[in-house]
Structure 1
Amino acid sequence: MNSLNEQTTRIKEFEKFKGRFEEKKDQSDHPWTQDTVLWKLVADELYLEAESMNGNDEEKRALLYHQAAHIYMVTGNKDLAGKSYQKITNEGLENPVCSK
């Protein structure tokens, strides 16, 4: 990801998915498991990108960790969500959502 526009687009796509997931998750004829796995991969990518920044652009790193945590929560990966939020806390990053 190179720009805020790309991150915004990702968030919008995720919100669409989240709405579909919440609406349809109880219907067994939909492949929500596949969507969940794909979104976990997106979250993993966001998390790893934040990890690879090594102290550069703390605001962007915090946003990436936060986005990953949000996706993990919605897809049922609460442990990974906690790990992402813990990174924000441990590294002294400002939570991008709470600080605005």
Structure 2
Amino acid sequence: MANYKPIGKVIGAASAASGTTVHAKISTTSWGLMLIRATATFSNTILKSAAVAIWTAAALTTGVPTYTTFTDTSGIYGISTKAGAQIKLKVYSK
């Protein structure tokens, strides 16, 4: 089995904390996976201990999510997915 090396892309702390979308051109390897780290917010409020539902490909968001995860006490969550795959996210909080 061949070894694969992820190719990193640095996004500055100011950009990550601004809440705006950051567009970045990244390269992929045959590994084909990426890690997404995000903070769940709504109206400038961090959603602590919220549920995050993830649907992949053409799955309808009215059905059972493909994956489910939770935010921590800082509203941060992370998921890994195939590079280039379409995903849809919904965050549920009190």
TM-score computed with the length of structure 2 as normaliser: 0.24
Greater fraction of residues in helix:
1
Task: Give the structure with the higher percent strand.
Answer: 2
Task: State TM-score, norm by structure 1.
Answer: 0.23
